[in-house]
Structure 1
Amino acid sequence: MASARIGAKTLLITLNMDHIAQMSCNPAIGGIAKGQVVREIDAMGGAMGIVTDSASIQFRMLNRTKGPAVWSPRSQCDKVCYQRGMKLWLEQMPQVDVLQSEVTAFLMDNGKITGVTNQFGDEIHCAAAVVTTGTFLNGKLHYGLRNFPGGRAGDFPSNSLSAALGEQLKLRLGRLKTGTPARILAKTIDFSQMARQECDSEEERFSCWSAGHSPALPEAVRHDLPCYQVYSTDETAEIVRRNLQYSPMYQGVIKGIGTRYCPSFEDKVVRFPQHPRHLLFLEPEGAQTEEYYINGLSTSLPPEVQRQLIHSVPGMEHAVLSRYAYAIEYDFVFPDQLERTLRIKSCDNLFTAGQINGTSGYEEAAGQGLLAGLNAARIAQGKSPVELGRDSSYIGVMIDDLTTKDIIEPYRLFTSRAEYRLVLRQDNADL
């Protein structure tokens, strides 16, 4: 959308059109530092803030007890509404076409990308390309000691493209790991044993633009759904300790490095044995679904152990799992091979954005995607690419960190990473 907005004819190639903007993990946008990024994306004309406002089922401003520099907006979203809204807007966007297929290799001439090929044998020519593969590059899903190829649950991985990046383009690839909790059904939860968490009383939005800036998007039927807080128990921790021999992470089956700031539950139990309990949040997946996301209970233990863990938590003694938790390993490109424009140093017209650059999170990916799309279009138009500085945006902080620091785990933004955070705030991104 960013490349199309500045006049470049753009083709989006994706494995499954119905999963464009699919929220693979928590259906929430924003949070600490991430909310600032969404406001920056919105200030530059990006879509994330507007679609979030349409799909929001609960809005909260985090860190209100602290100074304004670290206040961070966050919306729990209806994940189906968000996905449909982004897909619809994309399909209506002038200069954008969408093709459902798998890219398998690059077309090259004198070290430059001249196009891509897909599994159908199509040769699609281009003046610049952006690769945004998420967790799909050589993706492998882990459920206990069982593992399956996949980009996420229900989706095929992208294996040929990983080989093309490593063998054809000679890029250094690494391996990272992330995961997601189980989902459970509302009718089997006793919410009376949990603390209810309401949305903010003041109505607030992510986007500073008027409604006329976007087409009519699907709207969540409610914007005031509550979340719930509950603590795990000693029994929950004991179940983990009894079953560590079935953990792919602790048995060496998973080689990728996980994110320090969103650890699996078994990691919390092992690394922080002094804490007898851990805070969990039950968050709705949407206004028209009965599924709840258990924030804080990410695990790669087998399904039979997952049931024991969840049934040991107050209010979830009889919970029915609708989707199992899992861990996922995937390939990424070491981002020291990138310029601050997100262009690959060894290839003048190839850009990468999102988890392929070693980041985590929808917001970090969206910020990179906007800049990469903008710069790919500018290169195609014969113009010089744009950089964002650390002093002007959280997106600039992230990209500077990625291109200058070692990536030893999936990168996540925090307000503490921005030395200019007193002036880079969620309330002045438009200015």
Structure 2
Amino acid sequence: MSIYTTKYDIIVVGGGHAGSEAAAAAANLGAHTLLITMSLQNIAQMSCNPAMGGIAKGQIVREIDALGGYSGIVTDKTAIQFKMLNKSKGPAMWSPRAQSDRMRFAEEWRNTLEQIEKLDMFQDSVNGLLFDGNKIVGVKTALGIEIKAKTVIVTAGTFLNGLIHIGDKTFGGGRAGERASTGITEDLVEKGFESGRMKTGTPPRVDARSLDFSQMIEQPGDENPEKFSYLKEIKPLLEQRSCYMTYTSPEVHELLREGFDRSPMFNGRIKSTGPRYCPSVEDKVNRFASKDRHQIFVEPEGWNTTEIYVNGFSTSLPDDVQDRALRKCAGFENVKFLRYGYAIEYDYFPPTQLRHTLETKLIDNLYFAGQINGTTGYEEAASQGLMAGINAALKVQNKEPFILKRDEAYIGVLIDDLITKGTEEPYRMFTSRAEYRTLLRQDNADLRLTPKGFKLGLASQERLDRVLEKQEKTDLFVKFLKDTSVKTEEINPILEANGTAIIPQPMKLFKIAARPQINFDDLRNLEKISTFIKENNIDQEIIEQAEIHVKYSGYIAKEKNNADKLNRLENVKIPSDFDYEKLKSVSIEAKQKLTKIQPATIAQASRISGVSPSDVSVLLVYMGR
């Protein structure tokens, strides 16, 4: 079989986090798929920090895993540290995060992809797209090879006309040591697409042997680390590597300021928008001039490497300024640089030009995923890749598209935000973006999404059986708590010890467990509970699920009710050819936004910036509602 004569079902352009998940999902759903990447050695390369997860991002990784994607599994297999963030807050805020071994992460992803039967891989650069009218029919590579396909997914990351900045030095590149990609933007703009420029950056990498860790604050992993994947055969870490923390200082800030006149951020050479929530160190010094210091996280890049990622020191300042300033941070006095930090500008396409399937509106069978859509972060990219791969495969197979709603997944929130609101700065997921975050917890992603993944054909029977068992045992435990009373002499000493009111008569365990001062560790030694746990083989995961249900059942029920109300509007479809100009009493801005974005439902229309509740009411009247 030759790529010259083969017509693929799907071609995926780019082998980063989005491309890897897209290719895997499409091929696992039975579509004959080709992944084209500039370097097969850099599959799913961690271009920036060597970590997966974090606030809201960890929820996304668990959702990918629950649906049958690979990001969680690869992370668990290559992790060097695990932390559950925000444990002092409510469970809606708990967010898993893992440090990864950068080289092993890329290796594991490549090994994973090579085991997928219907997936081919090819090393070359795509510098052109092939069209037949308003339909994509293939790609053209730097070698001049034309490869035909029914659908194409572009996951180009930061490579589209990428431009790297270090002080007054500027050169083309998609990331350090790799060339930029040209041709795709130009082909799309010629077809009528709107494009823009965004910026991101990365900090220096340094040699651990040149650092004095005794001057830093150690940041170990969790004492009892968890994992991302719900698969039983994937085990938590038995050994972990510590990270460390140090600080900048007024002296460091002064040295950084000396280079501001040579900074591309301040002298006008960089005109694009960078990530608001991950600013460069010079941006932090400039914007927060009253702060004497900023945190620097010292993160190892793997088990067997001396390379260190200097998190918090992202910069595009001149190399000599980076050198002088970093040496004034505690522990970095004798630092040896392996690579200087840099900023990178790249092309993106405003995501309002997409449907919720991530297919473009202008060109049939063409999908975008990842940073091309204006997002930042491995997790956001991977989730889009998964959804694009699923929907491209479903379209090839003439099946209904797969779309996640805002009350079903953070992935649904992410895509809906991009499509209905667009973004003019790199979009990063936060728990605050999800109005139903009590429903969208990291602990229940399998309960929410694995049945959907199984129905698609991505999640295995083993996964589904485990989810059903988890739900069954959780329900059984909650019923036991509702049905079982505890005597005063058994429980009052525990209540007193935890500073909560004693009870004058026997009370159901459910009411006791619902008290905020009481957790299940306080109750598990009660004979009735310990016996039930042993007899029914209840593990810690089930106990956690039951405790969350008991303590937050009121909040969960309220969010479910609100989501159900909104979902009634999700069921009111808007015809794709609806003429918004005929709407009376609707603002000009609303008509323009509705015409441009073409929402599929009334609920989506209501979330578009510039569309007011009164505009939605008029639209409902025209829809016969």
Shifted more, 257-266 versus 119-128: the winner is 119-128
Tell me by how many angstroms 1:193 deviates: 0.6
Is the CA contact (8 Å cut-off) linking 1:56 and 1:223 kept in structure 2?
A: no
Residue in structure 1 matched with residue 104 of structure 2 by the alignment: 81
Matches within 5 A, 1:220-231: 223-231=239-247
Counterpart selection for 1:8 from 31, 35, 44: 31
**What is the identity, as a one-letter code, of the residue corresponding to 2:233?**
A
Pair 76,307 (structure 1): closer, same or farther in 2 beyond 3 Å: same
Counterpart selection for 1:36 from 59, 64, 81: 59
Pair 234,222 (structure 1): closer, same or farther in 2 beyond 3 Å: farther
Counterpart selection for 1:276 from 292, 316, 322: 292
Residue in structure 1 matched with residue 391 of structure 2 by the alignment: 375
Residue in structure 2 matched with residue 248 of structure 1 by the alignment: 264
The unaligned stretches of length 5 or more in structure 2 are 1-23, 448-625
Matches within 5 A, 1:6-405: 6-167=29-190, 169-211=191-233, 223-405=239-421
Shifted more, 382-391 versus 133-142: the winner is 382-391
Provide the rounded CA distance (Å) in 1 between the counterparts of 2:236 and 2:29: 30
Provide the rounded CA distance (Å) in 1 between the counterparts of 2:242 and 2:389: 36
Matched residue SS, 2:183: helix
Is the CA contact (8 Å cut-off) linking 2:226 and 2:236 kept in structure 1?
A: no
TM-score, normalised with respect to structure 1: 0.96
Is the CA contact (8 Å cut-off) linking 1:12 and 1:96 kept in structure 2?
A: yes
TM-score, normalised with respect to structure 2: 0.67
**What is the identity, as a one-letter code, of the residue corresponding to 2:256?**
V
Residue in structure 2 matched with residue 216 of structure 1 by the alignment: none
**What is the identity, as a one-letter code, of the residue corresponding to 1:341?**
T
Is the CA contact (8 Å cut-off) linking 2:225 and 2:237 kept in structure 1?
A: no
Larger Rg: 2
Is the CA contact (8 Å cut-off) linking 1:229 and 1:281 kept in structure 2?
A: yes
What per-residue deviation string (whole Å, max 9, x for no partner) do you get for residues 317-358 of structure 1?
A: 111111110000000011010011111011220100000000
Provide the rounded CA distance (Å) in 1 between the counterparts of 2:137 and 2:61: 32
Provide the rounded CA distance (Å) in 1 between the counterparts of 2:396 and 2:189: 24
Q: Which has the higher strand share?
A: 1
Provide the rounded CA distance (Å) in 1 between the counterparts of 2:238 and 2:46: 19
Provide the rounded CA distance (Å) in 2 between the counterparts of 1:422 and 1:153: 40
Counterpart selection for 1:428 from 403, 420, 444: 444
Q: Which runs of 4+ in 1 moved over 2 A?
A: 219-223
Is the CA contact (8 Å cut-off) linking 2:35 and 2:120 kept in structure 1?
A: yes
Tell me by how many angstroms 1:312 deviates: 0.8
Tell me by how many angstroms 1:223 deviates: 4.1
Is the CA contact (8 Å cut-off) linking 2:76 and 2:236 kept in structure 1?
A: no
Shifted more, 90-99 versus 156-165: the winner is 156-165
**What is the identity, as a one-letter code, of the residue corresponding to 1:99?**
F
What per-residue deviation string (whole Å, max 9, x for no partner) do you get for residues 137-192 of structure 1?
A: 0000000011110000010100112212222x321110000000001111110001
Provide the rounded CA distance (Å) in 2 between the counterparts of 1:110 and 1:151: 30
Provide the rounded CA distance (Å) in 1 between the counterparts of 2:238 and 2:177: 28
Provide the rounded CA distance (Å) in 2 between the counterparts of 1:134 and 1:108: 22
Shifted more, 359-368 versus 110-119: the winner is 110-119
Tell me by how many angstroms 1:203 deviates: 2.8
Provide the rounded CA distance (Å) in 2 between the counterparts of 1:179 and 1:72: 24
Provide the rounded CA distance (Å) in 2 between the counterparts of 1:221 and 1:31: 18
Provide the rounded CA distance (Å) in 1 between the counterparts of 2:35 and 2:184: 15
Provide the rounded CA distance (Å) in 1 between the counterparts of 2:60 and 2:239: 22
**What is the identity, as a one-letter code, of the residue corresponding to 2:230?**
C
Pair 176,91 (structure 1): closer, same or farther in 2 beyond 3 Å: same
Is the CA contact (8 Å cut-off) linking 1:117 and 1:123 kept in structure 2?
A: yes
Matched residue SS, 2:92: helix
Provide the rounded CA distance (Å) in 2 between the counterparts of 1:223 and 1:28: 17
Tell me by how many angstroms 1:117 deviates: 1.2
Provide the rounded CA distance (Å) in 2 between the counterparts of 1:326 and 1:163: 26
Tell me by how many angstroms 1:211 deviates: 3.1
Matched residue SS, 1:257: coil
Matched residue SS, 2:344: strand
Matched residue SS, 1:121: coil
Q: Percent identity?
A: 53
Provide the rounded CA distance (Å) in 2 between the counterparts of 1:127 and 1:209: 34
Tell me by how many angstroms 1:406 deviates: 3.5
CA RMSD of aligned residues (A): 1.4
**What is the identity, as a one-letter code, of the residue corresponding to 1:398?**
L
Provide the rounded CA distance (Å) in 1 between the counterparts of 2:193 and 2:133: 17
**What is the identity, as a one-letter code, of the residue corresponding to 2:162?**
G
Tell me by how many angstroms 1:221 deviates: 10
Is the CA contact (8 Å cut-off) linking 2:201 and 2:343 kept in structure 1?
A: yes
**What is the identity, as a one-letter code, of the residue corresponding to 1:142?**
H
What per-residue deviation string (whole Å, max 9, x for no partner) do you get for residues 222-269 of structure 1?
A: 840000011111111111222210100100001110000000000001
Provide the rounded CA distance (Å) in 2 between the counterparts of 1:44 and 1:279: 36
Matched residue SS, 2:75: helix
Tell me by how many angstroms 1:407 deviates: 1.2
Provide the rounded CA distance (Å) in 2 between the counterparts of 1:69 and 1:16: 39
Matched residue SS, 1:211: coil
Provide the rounded CA distance (Å) in 2 between the counterparts of 1:423 and 1:221: 28
Provide the rounded CA distance (Å) in 1 between the counterparts of 2:183 and 2:239: 42
Residue in structure 1 matched with residue 558 of structure 2 by the alignment: none
Pair 312,363 (structure 1): closer, same or farther in 2 beyond 3 Å: same
Is the CA contact (8 Å cut-off) linking 1:27 and 1:77 kept in structure 2?
A: yes
Provide the rounded CA distance (Å) in 1 between the counterparts of 2:362 and 2:187: 14
Matched residue SS, 1:401: helix
